[in-house]
Amino acid sequence: MLFNYNFCKLKEDNIVVRHSFINGQRYIKDLSLIGAPSRIGRVRLFLIPLKATSSSSIIDICYLKLRWTDSEFWNDGFDDSNRKYHIICDVYYGINNEIKIKRFLDFYVNYEFTGYDERFQPDNYHAYAVICSVQAINSKGLPSKWKDSKIIKIMRTTL
Same-domain status, 65 and 135 = yes
Same-domain status, 61 and 103 = yes
CA pair distance 152, 159, nearest whole angstrom: 14
Reported as half-sphere exposure (CB side, CA atoms, 13 A), residue 30 has a value of: 4
Average pLDDT score over the chain: 81
Can you give 46-75 as a three-state secondary structure string? EEEEEEEECCCCEEEEEEEEEEECCECCCC
- In this structure, is residue 17 part of a structural domain? yes
- In this structure, is residue 158 part of a structural domain? no
CA pair distance 159, 50, nearest whole angstrom: 8
Same-domain status, 90 and 121 = yes
pLDDT digits (tens, 9 = 90+) for 89-103: 998 887 777 888 889
Segments forming the whole domain that contains residue 7: 1-32
- In this structure, is residue 81 part of a structural domain? yes
CA pair distance 102, 121, nearest whole angstrom: 14
pLDDT digits (tens, 9 = 90+) for 61-74: 888 999 999 988 89
Give the angle 37-110-68 at the CA atoms, nearest 5°: 65
pTM of the model: 0.77
Same-domain status, 20 and 44 = no
Same-domain status, 135 and 68 = yes
Same-domain status, 24 and 39 = no
Q: Is 14 helix (H, G, I), strand (E, B) or coil?
A: coil
Number of domains forming the structure of the chain: 2
Task: State yes or no: pLDDT of 7 exceeds 60.
Answer: no
Same-domain status, 120 and 45 = yes
Same-domain status, 2 and 70 = no
pLDDT digits (tens, 9 = 90+) for 135-157: 999 999 999 999 999 999 876 55
CATH number at residue 109: 2.60.40.10
- In this structure, is residue 159 part of a structural domain? no
